Structure 1
């Protein structure tokens, strides 16, 4: 039987940022070398079109999620 991973519970108050990241990630561009990072212009357009204003820490969290996503994506690709 596989051992279960022990992870902390999802921080529900940050669900809106997870949802924003997922929407942005689903529209990211790519190249022949892999997927591109989510661009600041895309974050800005997303916020504007959705009537949001992200605080600096929120943008940093989206960047962190994006970095982790691209690292895992590259591992699966290799």
Structure 2
């Protein structure tokens, strides 16, 4: 759209992910790819997050866990609007 009009739609005009949180965004993207969906989009289960941590040998800090939960809430809200 930007190429056609020269303007970025407001919903796409967002700031970049802060450098300090890029890794958390990457974690969320990885977890989101493995999300279980049956009759719609479901929240990431704690068991899925723990399995991801074990598989990648990463232990999320409490702050990172809160960020993942917040990103998941935004993702679910966006998915329900469609």
Normalised by the length of structure 2, the TM-score is 0.79
* Count of residue pairs brought into register by the alignment: 75
The correspondence of residues 36-75 of structure 1 with structure 2, limited to 5 A, is 36-75=42-81
Answer with 1 or 2: which has the greater Rg.
2
Q: Determine helix, strand or coil for the equivalent of 1:31.
A: coil
In the alignment, the residues of structure 2 paired with residue 23 and residue 13 of structure 1 have an alpha-carbon distance, to the nearest angstrom, of 18
Q: Which structure features the higher share of strand residues?
A: 1
Moved over 4 A (4+): 1-4
Q: Normalization by structure 1: what TM-score?
A: 0.82
Structure 1 vs Structure 2 CA RMSD? 1.6
